[in-house]
Structure 1
Amino acid sequence: MTSVPTLGPLRVAKVMARLGIAESKRTAGLGSRQRSELWNYLLNREGGVAPGRLVVMAGPTAVGKGSVSACIRENYAEIYLSVSATTRPPRPGEIDGVHYYFVRDDEFDRMIETRELLEWAVVHNSFRYGTPRPPIDAALEAGKNVLLEIDLQGARTVKGELPSAILVFLLPPSWEELVRRLTGRGTEDPADQARRLETARVELAAQDEFDYRVVNTEVAAAAREVVELTALPSHRP
Structure 2
Amino acid sequence: MTTSKLHIAQTLLNRAHTPETAAQLFTERIKQKPLYLRPTSPTPADNRDRRRRHRLQKKTYFLRKQKPRPLSAREKRASGVYDLPKAECKYALFKGLHAMWIEYMREILDVGGRKAEEVNVTALSHGSKLVSADFHGAELEVVRSQCAGRVGVRGIVVRDTKFTFVVVTERDEVKTLPKEQTIFRFRVPLSSPDLDAMEDTNGNARSNVGKELTFELHGSQFLNRPVDRANKKFKWRNVDYL
TM-score (norm 2): 0.20
TM-score (norm 1): 0.20
**Higher helix fraction: Structure 1 or Structure 2?**
1
